[in-house]
């Protein structure tokens, strides 16, 4: 049965923050913001506690998998969001996603070893990817259009909140030797918003046909990530090289599938004679790929810079803070968008170049920590300053009929690049010598190789950005 979603009468005179948080719309706005916040906090919390997790239950060769499998599952959840929303409606969809995230979190809490923890991270990723995509999508369904800009700003701001809350919660629990409690804290909130919060949302389907999910494209993309991740467990270079080759073939198959099919993840314009959209996507992917060194930053911070779990967690969040600051500072400079797109990879390249020199240093001096922080800040700033303008280019270059697909394609590219980058980081770490009980020399060598190789991504982005901004 299809029901009509009531969004309230559009009244531009009541489109301020007071109206958004008022009695009529406040519970809905808080519920949607909480959906993004709970997913985002989980991202930064897990990154912060992973060094403590490995110390407790082992599995350092699978260290990067905790991020890779989570992001891979988030891609699946995100891709399924439109279909789930169309089939189940806002209330049931939100409740299902929140409870799925709660179930995965509970598995992580009880995990006796790394394999069980990864199973929990898989379920977390499915629920989290579904929840945060639904939260964005339901802004247009549950609120009248006069409130959309502020509601979008609210849910987007939750990522900034997560960079403060996630490392704090994870760092404090890890510092107390109770990393499992960091996950436990999230469960009551997930249950609360999955039950009470979901009741604030409309019941029943929203009308229209249920979108189809491009499962073939999603499967090819996901399989490529899993192949790299599986090969990364080995410390043998030949095995990792074979994994990279197979993954490359799967990516080619995915691109060929996207070119031919009508059910795709990115607009058809990307495969046309105008190459600009292809270069925009490639620039986005390369910048996000460079950012995935943050997966190992808390570990390096503890083992090389001598920081405690809390401080190392916040060190890992510096990149995200730089991304946010760059976005805020440059998002309004539409008159200089082409110049910003061209220069943004230069900042990220400079940040990684700095990290190459100071990141492997074994010193707990304030100067070393400050230098590492500056490198991470510049890396994030470069991505953030260019991101809104790259997103605008995607919307400009995609035809009107593909605007919804163009918006969702940015999330797909970002999540896929994050998953690939995390898998590649694990490959580099395990080949160089990252393992349980690795010494300081091994940690330094791992950091040096990782920063050097990942610096190639923004260097390539300098070239692709030239074509993307034409």
* pLDDT for the residue numbered 190: 93
Q: How far apart are CA 278 and CA 263, in angstroms?
A: 18
Q: Pick the closest to residue 63 from 464, 442, 355, 425 (CA basis).
A: 425
* pLDDT for the residue numbered 15: 59
Number of C-beta neighbours around residue 307 at 10 A: 20
pTM: 0.82
* pLDDT for the residue numbered 75: 83
Number of C-beta neighbours around residue 195 at 10 A: 12
| Residue reference for tokens 């898989």 | 122
| Residue reference for tokens 């170049």 | 353
In 3-state terms the chain splits into helix, strand, coil percentages (rounded to 5) of 80, 0, 20
Number of C-beta neighbours around residue 201 at 10 A: 22
Query: What is the gyration radius of the CA atoms in the chain, in angstroms?
Result: 21
- Residues of the chain whose pLDDT is less than 70? 1-15, 149, 205-210, 434-438
* pLDDT for the residue numbered 443: 86
* pLDDT for the residue numbered 367: 93
* pLDDT for the residue numbered 1: 36
């Amino acid at each position: 049965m299809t029901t009509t979603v009531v969004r309230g009468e559009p009244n531009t005179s009541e489109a301020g923050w007071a109206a958004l948080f008022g009695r009529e719309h406040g519970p809905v706005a808080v519920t949607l913001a909480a959906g993004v916040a709970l997913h985002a906090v989980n991202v930064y919390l897990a990154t912060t506690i992973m060094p403590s997790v490995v110390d407790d239950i082992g599995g350092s060769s699978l260290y990067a998998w905790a991020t890779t499998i989570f992001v891979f599952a988030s891609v699946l959840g995100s891709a399924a969001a439109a279909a789930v929303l169309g089939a189940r409606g806002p209330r049931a969809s939100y409740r299902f996603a929140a409870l799925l995230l709660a179930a995965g979190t509970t598995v992580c809490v009880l995990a006796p070893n790394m394999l069980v923890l990864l199973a929990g991270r898989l379920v977390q990723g499915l629920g989290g990817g579904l929840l945060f995509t639904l939260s964005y999508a339901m802004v247009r369904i549950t609120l009248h259009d006069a409130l959309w800009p502020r509601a979008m700003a609210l849910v987007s701001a939750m990522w900034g909140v997560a960079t403060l809350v996630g490392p704090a919660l994870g760092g404090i629990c890890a510092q107390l030797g109770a990393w499992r409690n960091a996950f436990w804290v999230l469960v009551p909130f997930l249950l609360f918003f999955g039950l009470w919060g979901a009741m604030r949302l409309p019941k029943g389907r929203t009308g229209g046909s249920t979108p189809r999910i491009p499962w073939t494209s999603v499967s090819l993309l996901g399989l490529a990530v899993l192949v790299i991740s599986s090969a990364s467990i080995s410390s043998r270079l030949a095995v990792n090289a074979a994994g990279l080759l197979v993954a490359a073939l799967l990516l080619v198959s995915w691109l060929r599938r996207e070119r031919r099919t009508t059910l795709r993840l990115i607009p058809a314009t990307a495969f046309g004679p105008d190459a600009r959209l292809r270069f925009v996507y490639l620039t986005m992917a390369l910048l996000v790929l460079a950012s995935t060194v943050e997966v190992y930053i808390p570990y390096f911070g503890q083992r090389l810079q001598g920081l405690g779990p809390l401080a190392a967690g916040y060190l890992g969040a510096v990149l995200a803070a730089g991304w946010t600051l760059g976005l805020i500072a440059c998002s309004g400079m539409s008159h200089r968008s082409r110049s910003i797109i061209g220069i943004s990879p230069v900042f990220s390249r400079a940040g990684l170049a700095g990290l190459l020199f100071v990141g492997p240093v074994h010193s707990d001096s304030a100067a070393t920590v400050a230098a590492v922080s500056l490198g991470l800040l510049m890396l994030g700033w470069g991505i953030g300053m260019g991101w809104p303008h790259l997103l605008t280019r995607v919307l400009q270059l995609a035809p009107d009929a593909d605007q919804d697909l163009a918006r969702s394609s940015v999330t797909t590219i970002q999540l896929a690049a994050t998953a690939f980058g995390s898998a590649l980081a694990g490959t580099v770490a395990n080949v160089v010598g990252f393992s349980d009980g690795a010494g300081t020399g091994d940690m330094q060598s791992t950091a040096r190789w990782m920063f050097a190789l990942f610096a190639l991504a923004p260097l390539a982005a300098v070239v692709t950005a030239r074509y993307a901004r034409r």
